Structure 1
């Protein structure tokens, strides 16, 4: 499906880790970059699944990763109104050290968590997607996240699920009217 939909497209494609985009990017002149939202979401899920923390206990590894990723988003918030060239420079100066620290932390901790844990899966996802996730730093016109595109299509995704319940033509017409 991505091959058909993106036939003839040239430019930058920002996606999650879905492997279906690999072929279309190889066969067309498409540069692929990643989106930090799915990586961050995996750590949030791992944090929520962790045992309840008691006062005075150490922060979970998932929470540490979330804190590091949060720094990247904070940098983006600070530089959002800058011209593209200046954004690129600021990312190299401010985000690159955070990214270097995060990668070193991920590599160090990938062997310190159980292989069947959500934290391990989040770490592996992030490391496997690393080159794509850091692609936004190369060009100030790119974004850390594709949330704008996701928000634009959300009504269709939600609607698609709702439309499945229109089991009669009359019910479908009533749903469409509403």
Structure 2
């Protein structure tokens, strides 16, 4: 095999062992099974697929950025190809996601939060509008499971769907979408200490502003709850 040094190519070889058993009347050939690839007729190795998924979802690297990174190493993998791989992988990995969901809901403690993300081509949404990645963490303490669910909204219907089948303690930030779920599903509400701390920080900032107004002789309006 010749190799162009200006445009090097990586040759991946899969070695399959074979054994020949010779008998008196026949010969029997047995071969070991080749490692199965999750995507049929896909040029990407399993390691490359794992790298794309981790870069996109764990490191927050968009596919167009990953395309440029691979180009620096001499790769010719387009963002369209990588997007198709991710879509096909999502279908193949759905049974695993379902199993992880069941494992997560088997314990009586669950954490949930929503994080703003930007999506360039979301139908009916502008690139600058907020979309949400719902993150849930739960399961036995020694075997926790973290799942990510994307949705353009923070609706109570989505929260109800993600919490379907869960019974126990739910720890979240107290967003309004959860209000209709606590009693209907019989969940026990746990607060978030980080969000609680923010209220004390806001109170401290408000006290400083009030103190400045008093010193300047400005009228102070009190609002009583």
Report the TM range for the smaller structure's normalisation.
under 0.3
Taking CA–CA contacts closer than 8 Å with sequence separation of 6 or more, which of the two structures ends up with the larger relative contact order?
1
- Decide which structure has greater strand share: 2
